[in-house]
Amino acid sequence: MTAAPLIVVVGPMGVGKSTVGHLLAERLGVGYRDTDDDIVSEQGRAISDIFFEEGEAAFRAIEKQAVRRALAEHDGILALGGGAILDADTRAALAGQRVVYLSMDVEEAVKRTGLNAARPLLAVNPRKQWRELMEARRHLYEEVATAVVTTDGRTPEKVTEAALDALELKEA
């Protein structure tokens, strides 16, 4: 029998998936896993290097496998990379899972990430590109989400509480 994550956390880059994911894991007494960390560990290089050396399509193929593996193996809190939901098979695999979509507006994204060039998809005109990414992805995040939690103006602790409330989960 395969495992299934207690909660899968999705959302755009810089929204706080890792921070909130760690807090959820702590509050629920379970492990935390991040597919981006899995990819870096498995590939032995940064995600930005994979993007620049092999292109986005190659990265997405690697990411799809990392997500599939993590969904089958991990029973705690699982955070997915911002673009993981672009893959139709990944979205299908998330059906029936408890998924929290952490959302934020562009001004919050600017504050949190500085929309810097270290993020491969935001290398040129970051504000415009972030808006375009969100226009392309928001409906996909919403499609897979069991609960949507806005992070704008909230501390990670408040976001964590809101996620637990939205999913009607009790702390360990």
70-116 confidence digits (pLDDT tens): 999 999 999 999 999 999 999 999 998 999 999 987 666 656 555 45
Distance, C-alpha 137 to centroid of its chain: 12
29 phi and psi, to 5 degrees? 70, 35
10-31 confidence digits (pLDDT tens): 998 778 899 999 999 999 999 9
54-72 confidence digits (pLDDT tens): 998 999 999 999 999 999 9
H-type alpha helices, 5-125: 17-28, 35-43, 47-54, 56-73, 88-94, 106-113
Domains within the chain, CATH numbers bracketed: 7-167 (3.40.50.300)
Helix (H) or strand (E) holding 150: strand 147-150
Of 47-51, 60-64, 112-116, 167-171, the one with minimum mean pLDDT is 112-116
